[in-house]
Amino acid sequence: MSDRTPSDSRQESRFPLTSPEGLPVDAWRSSTPRRVLVIDDNPAIHSDFKKILVDSPLSAAASDRVADAAKKLFADALQPANKDRRRRSGPRFELAHASGGAEGVEIIRQATEQDQPYELVFVDMRMPPGIDGIETVRQIWEIDHRIQTCICTAYSDRAWGDVLDELGTSDRLLILKKPFDLIEIRQIAVALSEKWRLARRAEQHVDQLELLVRSRTADLQRAQVLDRLTNLPNRRTFQQRLSVAVQQSEQDPDYRFGLVFIDVDRFKLVNESVGEAAGDELLRIVGNRLGEAVRLTDVVGQNKSSGTLVDDDERRPSHTAARIGGDEFVVLLNDLTDDDDAEVVAQRLCDVLSEPYSVGDKPVAMTASLGVTSSVHGYGTAEDALRDADAAMRQVKMSGRGNVAVFSKQMREESRRRARVETDLRGAADRGELRVVYQPIVRAGDGTLAGFEALIRWQHPNDGLLSPAAFIDTAEESGLIGEIGGWMLDEAAGAFAGWLSRDGTGLAPIPATLPSKNDPSTLPVAININLSRRQLLEPDLVERVAEVQKRYNLGGGRLKLEVTESGVMENPDESVQRLRELRNTGVRVVMDDFGTGYSSLSCLHQFPLDCVKLDRSFIRQLGQRDDYAAVIEAIVTLTKAMKIDLVAEGVENLLQWDMLKDLGCDLLQGYLFGKPLDPDIARGLVMLPTGSQIIDGRLATADDFQKPAVSLAA
């Protein structure tokens, strides 16, 4: 290997260096002797060849000249083969001899079989009684078409034209007239064997290029059908397969398919916290789990339409798992037996995907939301089926994630409605379609006004007054909540500040020292404004809130922001930090809907809070189930110990008020004291003399307490 040129070693890094015949390249490239066969019936000729090619090689200089000539003749484009070696000595030859055509052909055959090809053959034209030179060459070429051939003819032999007629024009054929000069023989032998070797190299080069092209083409083809990250089919491939399934379901009433749409929950957050590379790794694991689960899924027992026994492999349906977007995956379940099968499989996939992950040494908890649809809905296109599975997945996202939902017609309606809402909601604030209503919050002890919760309404041009349930989720999903929330903050804070000025000429002076929390009657009237989970993450939230607070002079606890526990839990570290910053500006933080979702008492210690709002569901059960009273009492004890306020929501009757008062709740909110009120009415409540009791959105009268409690229920 010592005489390889640098370009050789470059090639080696990409390709194994073997010749087309499978020989190591050096076997025919470098210092190995050049294999020459002489076929002649005259023994004297053989000894001449031996003398000139084997026994007395020419001087190195003469040999160089010959090799250079050969190079010029045949190999301008190719690298000089063996520069170094050539300088040392002329090429060596290995001679074989045959005294007749048939014997020569046999030698070539064996050599070819043993992968020891001859490079050059000298053939005498006339070798009676055997076959002549032309026939010999023809047979040799049948065995090895690459061999260089020199036919030696005497004067009386056949003409050049005849030879060409018989064998065809070829660059592997040279005709040499006898008697010949021995030097000439040497030159021819060097030149033609060199030509043979250069041709081999060129051939190898082409083979290598072909290999390269083939592998690149395969790469490209793979990229066209497979997802680079997970090696699962990509969107395009999946759509094709789904289209086939859709078509088949249209033609064959017995054929059913299922489609599962999978979205990894909160992947963006996970990705940000573990880093992009680990995020990719997680997606790969998700892909693997899906691919594996689908491979092992055999939801059909036997192909129903054929009804015949088929072997196992044939029976196994070809389900397809694919990645069709960043953290979106899909699974096509082919040839289902039962309409419910898809849901069963989806549930299994959901379980598989919620098992713990680990990237590096780090454990990562992750779940996915899965939407399911099937051919039951009679799809005409793959897009329709995908859209519905996606809609079902979205349903899961909205109701808490990490679960499975099966598509229904109502969902289609719902997703259309959402799309409409999103369009209409854009710019609603600027067009003056949004309103704020204010629900009183009273002190549990005496029913006097402690504040309001501002609640949004949308005066839709066609659909009338809409409650937040009809559009807040869409606003959240579409990001419109930023605009709406900003409007709400300004509107509610501004209106409330206006009422506090009482005579409308300016804000009431706020006491220099805050009233003591233990004396409820001195608590300032406050405005509660809801913050959505998305608003909580807005980078300029704190700045905005501080600005509003300053503009309307709402320091000292007059502005309270309500956040939900699930909203905070979505991104606990950042949210907690944000809540701290908010409190530092002087606003109060209220935990809304406490007791729903993941709720845990321990979260009260973890979050920076001023107040907890007990969810309506607790109050509804109060008086019906004893254990609820016990739970509320525990929460009261805890919040008292932590010195945070407790508001009970959804108080609808006097009985509930009584019980909550006895249990030790500080503040109450509910229809009993007032439904969400128009600004003018709310303002009227602020104007009432200190100590006024509020019932049903107005000043309470003695009558209100005479009536039986139930009749006061909303």
Residues that bind Ca ion (CB under 5 A): 530, 562, 592-593
CB of 492 to ligand C2E, least distance (A): 8
Enumerate residues 188-227 that contact ligand C2E by CB under 6 A. none
- Judged by beta carbon, residue 40 or residue 593, the one nearer ligand C2E is 593
Total binding residues toward ligand C2E, as defined by CB under 6 A: 23
136 binds, among Ca ion, ligand C2E, none (CB under 5 to 8 A by kind): none
* Among the listed residues 467, 521, 584, 637, the single contact to ligand C2E using CB under 6 A: 467
271 binds, among ligand C2E, Ca ion, none (CB under 5 to 8 A by kind): none
> Interhelix angle for 276-295 vs 267-274, to 10°?
130
478 binds, among ligand C2E, Ca ion, none (CB under 5 to 8 A by kind): none
CA distance 108 to 144: 8
Residue 455 engages ligand C2E in binding (rule: CB under 6 A): yes
Nearest to 510 by CA among 452, 549, 561, 453: 549
* Among the listed residues 472, 622, 654, 685, the single contact to ligand C2E using CB under 6 A: 472
73 binds, among ligand C2E, Ca ion, none (CB under 5 to 8 A by kind): none
Phi and psi based region of residue 379 (left: phi greater than 0; alpha: psi -120 to 50; beta: remaining): beta
Report angle CA 159, 163, 164 to the nearest 5 degrees.
115
CB of 598 to ligand C2E, least distance (A): 17
* Among the listed residues 125, 293, 456, 659, the single contact to ligand C2E using CB under 6 A: 456
Strands 320-325 and 328-333: antiparallel
617 binds, among ligand C2E, Ca ion, none (CB under 5 to 8 A by kind): none
Residue 656 engages ligand C2E in binding (rule: CB under 6 A): no
Other beta carbons within 10 angstroms of residue 16's beta carbon come to 10
712 binds, among Ca ion, ligand C2E, none (CB under 5 to 8 A by kind): none
CB of 234 to ligand C2E, least distance (A): 38
- Stretch touching ligand C2E by CB under 6 A, among 126-134, 278-286, 302-310, 644-652: 644-652
CB of 685 to ligand C2E, least distance (A): 15
- Judged by beta carbon, residue 439 or residue 575, the one nearer ligand C2E is 439
Q: Is there a contact between 397 and 266 (Cβ–Cβ < 8 Å)?
A: no
Binding mask 560-589 for ligand C2E (x = CB under 6 A): --x---------------------------
- Judged by beta carbon, residue 124 or residue 562, the one nearer ligand C2E is 562
CA distance 312 to 706: 79
Q: Is there a contact between 547 and 576 (Cβ–Cβ < 8 Å)?
A: no
CA distance 677 to 466: 15
| Terminal Cα distance for the chain, rounded | 97
- List the strands of the sheet with 34-39, edge to edge: 93-98, 34-39, 120-124, 148-153, 173-177
Other beta carbons within 10 angstroms of residue 393's beta carbon come to 25
Residue 592 engages ligand C2E in binding (rule: CB under 6 A): yes
* Among the listed residues 530, 571, 575, 639, the single contact to ligand C2E using CB under 6 A: 530
Residue 650 engages ligand C2E in binding (rule: CB under 6 A): yes
- Judged by beta carbon, residue 82 or residue 693, the one nearer ligand C2E is 693
Which residues pair with residue 259 across a beta bridge?
332, 373
Give the dihedral sign, CA 77/78/84/90.
Answer: negative
CB of 564 to ligand C2E, least distance (A): 7
CA distance 257 to 255: 7
CA-to-CA dists, residue 137 to 163, 191, 701, angstroms: 11, 19, 127
Structure tokens at 427: 């710019």
Reported as type and span, the H/E element at residue 559 is strand 559-564
- Judged by beta carbon, residue 147 or residue 589, the one nearer Ca ion is 589
312's CB contacts (< 8 A; 6+ apart) are none
How many separate helices (H) and strands (E) can be counted in the chain?
A: 28, 23
Burial of 645 per CB tally in 10 Å (0-12, 13-18, 19+): buried
291 binds, among ligand C2E, Ca ion, none (CB under 5 to 8 A by kind): none
The b/e string for 336-360 (b: 16+ C-beta within 10 A; e otherwise) is: beeeebbbbbbeebbeebeeebebe
Residue 442 engages ligand C2E in binding (rule: CB under 6 A): no
- Stretch touching ligand C2E by CB under 6 A, among 183-191, 348-356, 639-647, 649-657: 649-657
CB of 424 to ligand C2E, least distance (A): 17
Give the dihedral sign, CA 693/696/700/702.
Answer: negative
Report angle CA 690, 693, 699 to the nearest 5 degrees.
100
- Judged by beta carbon, residue 616 or residue 683, the one nearer ligand C2E is 616
Enumerate residues 601-640 that contact ligand C2E by CB under 6 A. 616
Reported as type and span, the H/E element at residue 204 is helix 182-225
150 binds, among Ca ion, ligand C2E, none (CB under 5 to 8 A by kind): none
- Judged by beta carbon, residue 90 or residue 670, the one nearer ligand C2E is 670
350 binds, among Ca ion, ligand C2E, none (CB under 5 to 8 A by kind): none
* Among the listed residues 468, 482, 524, 556, the single contact to ligand C2E using CB under 6 A: 468
Dump strand ranges (E) for 236-311: 258-264
- Judged by beta carbon, residue 167 or residue 454, the one nearer Ca ion is 454
CB of 615 to Ca ion, least distance (A): 6
Q: Is there a contact between 245 and 375 (Cβ–Cβ < 8 Å)?
A: yes
Other beta carbons within 10 angstroms of residue 72's beta carbon come to 9
CB of 531 to ligand C2E, least distance (A): 6
Structure tokens at 71: 């190079």
* Among the listed residues 124, 610, 652, 666, the single contact to ligand C2E using CB under 6 A: 652
- Stretch touching ligand C2E by CB under 6 A, among 28-36, 250-258, 502-510, 645-653: 645-653
CB of 260 to Ca ion, least distance (A): 34
Residue 682 engages ligand C2E in binding (rule: CB under 6 A): no
* Among the listed residues 277, 601, 642, 714, the single contact to ligand C2E using CB under 6 A: 714
Residue 671 engages ligand C2E in binding (rule: CB under 6 A): yes
388 binds, among ligand C2E, Ca ion, none (CB under 5 to 8 A by kind): none
Residue type, 615: D
Give the dihedral sign, CA 162/166/170/174.
Answer: negative
714 binds, among Ca ion, ligand C2E, none (CB under 5 to 8 A by kind): ligand C2E
- Judged by beta carbon, residue 301 or residue 708, the one nearer ligand C2E is 708
Burial of 23 per CB tally in 10 Å (0-12, 13-18, 19+): middle
Binding mask 479-518 for ligand C2E (x = CB under 6 A): ------x--x------------------------------
- Judged by beta carbon, residue 157 or residue 565, the one nearer ligand C2E is 565
3-state secondary structure of 147: coil
Cis ω for the linkage preceding 233 (within 30 of 0): no
Q: How many CA atoms lie within 13 A of 497 on its CB side?
A: 19
Site for ligand C2E, rule CB under 6 A: 439, 455-456, 467-469, 472, 485, 488, 530, 532, 562, 592-593, 616, 650-652, 669-671, 676, 714
